[in-house]
Chain A
């Protein structure tokens, strides 16, 4: 089974030949890959080198944490890749961004207003949780719409507070 896996914009062609054999960009490796316990922790031995990693899904990507570094990997098989290539250009470049509370907490301040134009990196909401004030920033340029919370509100995790379109 052939996959195209992207990390930091670099594409790796990973072919899983069988349980103990893979190739990366055409180079074949002997591997031993097992999950550890009942957890998203995996032990991988490649050509005698041992790696212990925490691999978990995050939205449409995989997070790989090992040796103190975190990687975000997009894994697609050939069919998915073709599908996406066909769709590219049809999907709007900027999807709406919905600011969701990353944790339960209290809204301390909302330095923006409905309709305000913001730039990437601008603070949208300051949320207090675990005795810390956390600045939640806009990941892109846009306009603030649908502000659903007020200063002093308690919010649950993943609750949508406002959107940037």
Chain B
């Protein structure tokens, strides 16, 4: 059994894992790139070792170096966090070969869920419904797609294999219009991604992205911790998550039903440790398996807030070979939690990422507020890694209280030095559709504009004008002041000597 854990990650999640280890009395080993020497996870850990230059492939993706450091520092386990090496079966395998515990599932589970076609086939066999479609079937010709379209049913979507951001995507209502839409989609995909391959997927109308957190131990016990609602996304990047889902609400029967299906999907690959099953849920509460994330999720805190279970600590217990702390009937949901991802990006400028030094930050505190972050004043947000600055999580007895608390916390939160999306979240919290829980995965891209939202806000341009003028005035006065002082400072002696020369 291990007593020292190497954390093969950076940023807020590395800090989060160090915290869990500290509470469990486990020693921690941080690894860092040259860009992260000053990062919080390095400063918080008991030991720290350099990996290499800033780019990920030279640092956080260097599996060989990381395993080497684990051996040299005598760390008995590696926690991969999320991203980087977290879902790489070969890395999990290399850990096992080196005699180091990988805090996560077996390599075979990662491999089975990592391949879309295999994952769909595996869970289908276990009786889990998947979104009907041809994803993962490889590249198909138009005639093959046309013949498969009937069995999928209409309406359906044509999607680019290399796709994203809606490029190369077409909605098809009936078979007659499909040939022309297929060629249009292929053309667009070819132009956007240099790859004209497309696949078909049943169009799930009013789709919501709902995922189930599961925990599984090495003794074969699997439980679920309820759902997270992740439909607030932009270009497939989640921006806000909540638990429970306003769509599920107090429908405990549905929660247990989808939870049991998630447990079945996990059991189908003999899953161990923490994982998440993602579902698309349509407006009639039909749900379809999307994929399984075989790792800790960014948004795990909302589940922790409503269940009281510390998921990272559970991961450590499971990795140490202990059985689950809780049984399914011990899991109760209390209140409501919302998480806003605070990213270094400019919501007023097409969400362009922003880099720079954090010159000032004031964290929200007070009842029911949690901030998971890896930055502090003076920290440099570099272009090498993702743009997540922090996660702001609030808890309330009801969804209404959680929203009001989030509004309050966002108003308190100040980050200077880099652009950030706090104003976006503030506008979102004011949106009536969000308040009513009336949103699907297309909400942010199709129905929400920060500029429009700001127009409807009862704002005070007169106060803004006054503030700008006062600051400009202050700056002008200070500039004048500096010039005056310099004149006197430098010229007194000069004047004296010139004057003396004149008198000569």
Contact = CB atoms under 8 A, between A and B. Distances in A.
A62 B464 CA distance: 10
A62 B385 CA distance: 30
B464 A7 contact: yes
A24 B466 contact: yes
Interface stretch (A10-18, A88-96, A112-120, A142-150): A10-18
Interface in B344-384: 344-345, 348-355, 359-360, 383-384
B158 interface: no
Contact of B467 (A42, A131, A137): A42
B416 A40 contact: yes
A97 interface: no
* Chain B interface size, under 10 / 10 to 19 / 20 to 34 / 35 or more: 35 or more
Interface in B459-475: 459-474
Contacts of B459: 67, 69, 71
Could you say which of A16, A29, A68 has the most chain B C-beta atoms within 10 Å of its C-beta? A68
A129 interface: yes
A70 B348 contact: yes
* Chain A interface size, under 10 / 10 to 19 / 20 to 34 / 35 or more: 35 or more
Could you say which of B467, B471, B472, B476 has the most chain A C-beta atoms within 10 Å of its C-beta? B467
Nearest to B388: A130
B386 interface: yes
Nearest to A11: B465
Given A37-B360, A129-B353, A42 B470 contact: yes
Interface stretch (B168-176, B257-265, B419-427, B488-496): B419-427
Given A40-B416, A67-B411, A129 B465 contact: no
Contacts of A42: 467, 470-471
B422 A68 contact: yes
A8 B410 CA distance: 25
A7 B459 CA distance: 12
B122 to A, nearest CB: 29
Contacts of B353: 103, 129-130, 132, 134
B387 interface: yes
A149 to B, nearest CB: 16
Interface in A43-89: 44, 46, 51, 53-56, 62, 64-71, 73, 75, 77
A37 B362 CA distance: 12
Given A7-B461, A130-B353, A39 B472 contact: no
Interface in B224-260: 237
Contact of B387 (A3, A8, A29, A130): A130
B385 A130 contact: yes
Nearest to B473: A16
B472 A75 contact: yes
A29 B457 CA distance: 24
A41 interface: yes
Contacts of A51: 460, 463, 467
A47 B152 CA distance: 66
Nearest to A71: B464
Given A12-B462, A46-B463, A134 B423 contact: no
A157 to B, nearest CB: 7
A135 B454 contact: no
A132 B351 CA distance: 10
A29 B353 CA distance: 40
A5 interface: yes
A31 B468 CA distance: 14
A65 B465 CA distance: 11
B37 interface: no
Given A8-B461, A53-B467, A62-B472, A131 B414 contact: no
Interface in B31-65: none
Contacts of A66: 463-464, 467
Contacts of A56: 416
Contact of B352 (A8, A31, A103): A103
Contacts of B352: 102-103, 134, 136
B471 A68 contact: no
13 contacts: A3-B473, A16-B469, A16-B473, A33-B470, A40-B416, A44-B466, A68-B423, A73-B467, A75-B468, A75-B472, A103-B355, A134-B353, A136-B352
